[in-house]
Amino acid sequence: MSVRVRFAPSPTGYLHIGAARSALFNWLYAKKTGGKFLLRIEDTDLQRSTDESTRSIIDGLEWLGLSYDEELVFQSANADKHRAAANKLVAEGKAYRDFTPKAERNDATVKQGIADRARAHAAEGVDHRSNPFRDLAGEESDKRAAAGEPFAVRLKIASDGKTHFDDMVYGPQEREYSEIEDLVLLRSDGHPLYNLSVVIDDIEMGITHVIRGQDHLTNTHKQILLYQALGARLPHFAHLPLILAPNKGKLSKRKHGEVVSLTTYRDRGFVPAAFRNFLALLGWSPAEGKEVLSVDELIAEFSLEHIHRSPAVFNFQENDPRHWTDEKALWMNAEYIRTMPVDDLLPMIKAELRANKLWREEYDEDDHDWFVSAVQVIRQRFHTLKDFSAQGRAYFSDDFDFDEAAVNKNLRKEPKLKELLPGLADHLEKLDPFNHDTAEAALRGFAEESGVKAGLLINGSRTMLTGQAVGPSMFEVFAILGQKRSVERLRSGVPWFDAMNAVGDV
């Protein structure tokens, strides 16, 4: 039987990186086994589900390159099937109507409420099979239902025995029935609940392997009971270790903000392949040590056996712009930016420049070769796509900012540069041809005849031409910017002439 896996997020917000990783692992498993990867939106919680969120999930998967097979399934569309299944279980005596009035719960205190109730039950000796309606006669139950009395439907779980399954990641698991309450399948308003819906939908969609977060590990036992009650064949289960915050707590948007949202990485200039690669390494590692892996390599290397069981910490420092997300993710992105095939990178840079009004159509036409060579040079030290429009701005526009510290360090510190730089411009202007080597010879010659170190002119030029203190080799910069712009910028004197006497504001 061929593999069918699914990613089943609930559309109650942005796509969380933990969920994105689940999607990735499901997708990789499908590709690895030649199976199908399906997407199901679990929107049964109507109050909290939004179209916007669904949109962002789909966009996020697309951005990561995780395309799904077959039609997108909305769980809410199957509600009737879920209800029918529950009613069938009632008719078969495998589930029962519970006429106990619904207890109101406050979302904020549920966890505490659960613990309190459990403690109280233990103290009073109340067990999970003590529901008074559990063994209500069928006729009586039908009569009360027909009379319009509200009821929830609960699965009737046997008093003795245990469920077990062999998790593909966590190994053999078992749980006593006595630990499991008769779970509610249908709310008293007829609304099907999560455990019922997933099981029915997974059966319906022919899912063979359920790969999801470890937070569902213990729920699996309840779902197995449902599969059995429904007489359905069990899928294989594989649970994934959770991704935690640096303090080993839960990673949540509430507490940690946008670092946990996949779209943040897109918006902050990540190359999708780089982030996908990084995500793949959270909780899984390839058999061989190699960590930078193309999609094809990921697929070839991927196996559930190499997923490990302890939770992974997603390392980042809040309030520190330099370490706003995991350093390894940042490194991975830089690695991709400087080493990936330039043709794959170009469209992303184009989009970035376009968004900042720095794109010119000539870059696709007459100036294409120039554009490629400029990218080849500057991408070497960039970390995100954003850098192309920020630090890289001077390569694409004459309107760029000067870094204050760079101006102080490379220009203001040596007043002689006020004359030297225009002097250098005069020499460069005469060059024919103008290129890396001739520019270097001219600069070094001029430095010697002026009695100054070449480095002084080089660093001064860097700041005059790019506004920055750091960047590629200066002669490469001259070559990229070309003779005309190099000469103009050397003569412009903008950032420091005026500021020398004045207040220092550029």
Partner RNA sequence: GGCGCAUUGGUGUAGUUGGUUAACACGCUGCCCUCUCAAGGCAGAGAUCACGGGUUCGAGUCCCGUAUGCGCUACCA
Out of 59, 291, 404, 429, the residue judged to bind RNA by CB under 7 A: 291
Based on the shown chain and the rule CB under 7 A, indicate whether residue 413 belongs to the binding site for RNA.
no
Q: How many beta carbons lie within 10 A of that of residue 261, not counting itself?
A: 20
Residue list 244-283, contact with RNA (CB under 7 A): 244, 246, 248-250, 281-283
Q: Shortest gap between Cβ of 314 and RNA (angstroms)? A: 7
| Placement of tokens 């939908």 in the chain | 201
Q: What are phi and psi of 158, to 5 degrees?
A: -60, 155
Say how many residues touch RNA, by CB under 7 A.
88
Alpha helices by DSSP H, listed for 154-294, are 194-204, 219-229, 253-256, 262-267, 272-280
**What is the sign of the dihedral through the CA atoms of 399, 404, 410 and 414?**
positive
Measured between alpha carbons, how far is residue 313 from residues 59, 152, 331, 361 in Å? 26, 40, 17, 44
Which of 72, 118, 351, 500 binds RNA (CB under 7 A)? It is: 118
**Residue 300 contacts RNA per CB under 7 A:** no
C-alpha 63/C-alpha 56 separation (Å) is 10
Binding to RNA (CB under 7 A) within 384-403 occurs at none
User: Which position among 234, 331, 397, 427 is part of the footprint of RNA (CB under 7 A)?
Assistant: 331
Q: How far is the CB of 313 from RNA (least distance, A)?
A: 3
- Contacting range for RNA; rule: CB under 7 A; set: 22-30, 54-62, 111-119, 482-490: 111-119
Q: Is 253 a catalytic residue?
A: yes
Report, in Å, the least distance between residue 360 CB and RNA: 26
Taking the least distance from each CB to RNA, the nearer of 217 and 232 is 217
Distances, alpha carbon 422 to alpha carbons 446, 477, 491, in Å: 11, 17, 5
For residues 24 and 66, is the Cβ–Cβ distance under 8 A? yes
Show contacts with RNA in window 350-369 (CB under 7 A): none
Number of Cβ within 10 Å of residue 232's Cβ equals 14
State the minimum distance, in angstroms, from the CB of residue 476 to RNA: 7
- DSSP string over 411-464: IIT-TTHHHHHHHHHHHHHT-SS-SHHHHHHHHHHHHHHHTS-HHHHHHHHHHH
Residues in contact with RNA, shown as a per-residue x/- string from 9 to 38 under the rule CB under 7 A: -x-x--------------------------
Binding of RNA at residue 88 (CB under 7 A)?
Answer: no
* Identity of the residue, 14 or 359, whose beta carbon is nearer to RNA in the bound complex: 14
The stretch near RNA (CB under 7 A) out of 55-63, 139-147, 148-156, 489-497 is 148-156
Among 62, 92, 127, 179, binds RNA (CB under 7 A): 179
458 makes contact with RNA (CB under 7 A):
yes
Six token digits for residue 351: 């989009």
Residue 470 within binding range of RNA, rule CB under 7 A: yes
Binding mask 53-72 for RNA (x = CB under 7 A): --------------------
Name residue 7's beta-bridge partners: 39
Please tell me the distance from the alpha carbon of residue 176 to that of residue 186, in angstroms, as a whole number: 23
Q: Which residues pair with 172 in a beta bridge?
A: 166
Set 102, 143, 253, 453: catalytic member = 253
Whole-Å CA distances, 253 to 20, 250, 260: 14, 10, 6
- Name the residues annotated as catalytic: 253
